[in-house]
Structures are given as C-alpha cells and as structure tokens.
Structure 1
C-alpha cells in the first residue's frame, strides 16, 4: 500500500434545524396558543486517532465529509432531532492545519484522542419561544444556523521510538528488515526506499519498540532536494535517531566523515535545528565489507574524526553482526527514559 503523509479534505458540519411555527388545536380547547418546537442542533465533525491506521491513503479518493443536519422543530412543542456527528479516523501523529492560511488547528498524538474540527450549526427557535404577555400568538421563528465549513490539510508525522537517518543506500532498510517484520525494498542502488516504513522490534514478551525507516537524505534535503525532504518531519517525533553511515563507501569523492557531516547539516537546517536536538547514535554499517583486521581501526578513526559523544554501534545487518547488541542497547535506553523525549544537553 502506498504511503501517503499529506492530504487535503473538505469538511462541513451539519446545519441546525429551523424552528416551527405551530398553534395548539384540540377539541374543546379554544385559543390553545403557540406550540412550535425548536429545531435540532447540527452535527459536529470530529477527528479520532486510530491505532490501526498508519497512512492517510484513505483520503486520496474520499475528500469531502459532512455531518448530519438537525431536524426542524414540530408542533406540540416537539424539538427536532439533533444531527449525528461525523467521525473521521486518522492515524495517530496527525497534525491538522487550516488549508486557507496554514494556521495550526490541533494534533492527535495518541490513539483514542479526539478533536472537534467543525462545530454544528445552532438550532432555530420555534414560535412557542416568543410567547409573551403582550404577544399571545407569535408567528415569529428563527432559522437554524449553518455549520462550519473548512478545508483542512492533514499532515502525518510518524510516531516511533527510533528513527533511521542516513544517505541513500546506507543500509537502513536492511537493518529494519533484520530486526523487525517490516519488509521495505532492498537493492544495490540508491533510493530504493520511496516511502517511510514502520517496524516493531520485539526483544521479549513485554519488551518492544517501534522503528521508522525514511527515504535517504541528500544535500539540500531540508530545502526540497531528493526524496527525503518531505519525510524529514517524521524524525521530529522519534525519540532516538540512529545515524547509519557506510563505513567503506565505494565513491572516491566521499568518505564516512563527510557523509556524516552532510547529514548533520541537513538536520541543523530543518525547522530551526529541531532534529539536531535529538539524541543521535552513530551506526557504522556494512562492516562485513572490510577485512576483519581493519574494522576496529576504521571505526576508531571515524569516531575520533567526528569527536562523537553519543553511543557507537558498528553493525553488519546482512550478517547480523552487532544487530542484537544495538537492539538491546536501544531497548534499555528507552526503558530507562520513560515517556519523555531525549534532547541533547550541552
């Protein structure tokens, strides 16, 4: 299923029912007086975060949603039925904006959260409401109010404990395939990952965390270059970033140090450095491509050149070397942190 992380929808709350103009007419009861009831209230439009959804693909073809109108009032002081609310399910992590001016309306960060995005119109008043000592037979009523009409932009930011970041072909998809049931495409050419993927890493009956793989980043990604630009936002909800870097890149124009620095620049440039504040572990990948006696010196040289201050876990996702140790360390870090986000402290 194609991943969709943005959608434009049109919503309309229900209109309120009109008030009724009616007079009581019963045998042996002359001049019974006004008995027109009020109309019903229009239904609201409510967004609900659903744990079973992880994409906005359902909104590709169904883009207009309308709540039910309130029913008009009736005689004998009967109030019209209120309109039913329209409930729209969205993935947890969805942010809602007014499409007209881009102003934020709210967000649904956790499953089960609800947000009313359009309020139903108020009820119209029946003529019984206007009876007074000087007006015993009012014929005045009011009309129901129109419900709110809005165009919304929905933007999904994946909720995950761990996010994978790195250049195209750094081994991110291979890693998430090795530790979870996620099956993103893997090939020996760049940009094989076109859409984000979520995988659940299970280390025991009650020990698991969610990992997110996004398309590889290139220079200028924060400004719209490459496939990773529109997906950088997903990393803002990840608690730990795993920075994968090919320990032995085949290109002569780049080395592991310059690759790491390039990604760091993109993280610093995105949303005023929001991503740079996330705890970021260094994961030298594809260690199996180096001779055994060169692996440890290569990692040590990389760490020294970067002056790295967070954990470093060399791995080979293809052979499984170092993967279990990395998964266990991430699990312990998440368990020790509780529900709070990790941020860099100087």
Structure 2
C-alpha cells in the first residue's frame, strides 16, 4: 500500500490533490502516534474531512521535541536544522533517500529542465559544516547528476569561483549557483561579474554574519554586482522534502505535490487556500509520507488563487533559522 501511495504522490495535480491529501492523512493518522494524539486532542475524535485545507496541521516545533515518524522504520537519512546557539534543533527522519531525491529532482526539472544541462555550483560555506543539512544533500546530488567537470562546492574560494564563472560565461554554459545569502553578498563585494548565463539561486540565511536586510535589498545588491536580470530563490526547510522556487519576482511556485495555505495567527484552525489571503504559512508536502505532510510553519506569507505564494518573514515568537528567508519589508 505504501509503495502505491509513494507513486501516487508524484502524480498529484489540481484535480486530484485533495483526494491524495486525504489518503495521506488517513495513513499518517493510523501510523503516526504523535500526530494522531494531536488530532484527537483538537477534535476529541478523528474529524470527517472533505478538503485538504481542513486537515489538521502539526506545529513545526514538534520536530524539535519528538520523533515525527509514520510507521516503524530505520531511517536512511536524518536531517537536522542549524538552529541558533543553545537552541534545540529540528530533526527530520527520512525513511527512504530515494523519496527525497525523486521529490527534489522532479520538482527542479519542472521549473528548470534536466539537471544534466547545468553546471551546478554550491556557495554554501556554513551549511557544509553541517553534514545533516537537507540543502547540502540536495545540492550535492545535483552536482553529481550534472556530471559537469566544474560542478562542485566552492566554500570560501572566491578567487577560484570567480575564475570558474568567468570561464563558463565565456563558453555560454548554463550555470546554477546555489548560494546562502551572506555567502553571495560576501562574494559580490569582492567580484563584480556579468553573469548572463548563470541562475543565482539564493537559499536564505544570514546566520548573524551580517546586518539583516530585506529580500528586496539583498536582490538589488546582487543584481547590480552581477548585472543579471533577477535573483532566483528556493523555499525549503529541514522539515520538508519538497521545495518552492521563485524566478525573481518574490513569488514562489511549489511542486505539484506541495500546497501552501495560510492560517490566522489568533485562530490556527481558520485556514485559507486557493484564494488571495495573508497569514501564517501552512504547508502540505505529500512527499513527507513517512513523517508528517501537514505542517504549520512559523513563516508569515501571502497566497494567491493560482497556488503561488510569497514569504514575508517570521512571526514574532519564532526563532530565526538558517534556511529562513529575509525579514519582512
């Protein structure tokens, strides 16, 4: 049954999403004791549900205090958030590495085409110090699949990176540059290069390394330094196995098996989806089959009727994590 459901997830589309989400909910309610207890605490008994937005969303903080697993298994991967100094970190136990890889490769290809067409470069210095980073795992897998001889991580090797980018630009080679925010800003201060064939993918994260800036300010600096039309962004987190991508306008589009809703901060059970609304972001990630697919995050956001969304910052009581996007403007 589980293998059948795994395959169903990646056939998600607007017409069958609610049906699939309810099927995943049923599986997780029956096989995830913590989630079942949470649902029963909210509703006394399992609610009768008809729409995906009505499924109870588990507060993301539970990933810091509990093992969020659906079923009994030995995880192939365990991702851990960076957190802040002295803070508890979130842990995401992943039953199958192949499920994560299917999710991020399929999603990327829908927005950017085959990874093999790109030279993939990672400028993720702080994340490489954490081997349990889901972002590092994803970028490393993309580097390997690209098979380009210049694909790789460049840590703090700014001079080498500048030379590589210049050479690739001269050849017209499409380049995908994944960069943590402070790493991209540090690089831009030293080297101003016209990057016409390079997609700069900002992944968030200041980590106290710089004065906080809005996303708009960050992107304006990078656009000016690299003479490019737009800075792209990735929306992902330790607790998710799927991503959303923005191609430069601050509006993200998610994988077909991922859906964004917003809740009212004062009334968490008041959830809106598929309409224009602002609030705190809830995520349905069907790829989270063996953990929890229904997560109430600490990100403030805005959704649009077509399913796209914007990330406006963090709600006040939440801690700032390494992968979070910039503070609200």
TM-score (norm 1): 0.25
TM-score (norm 2): 0.26
**More helix, by proportion:** 2
Bigger-Rg structure (1/2): 1
Compare relative contact order (CA 8 Å, sep 6+) and give the higher one, 1 or 2: 2
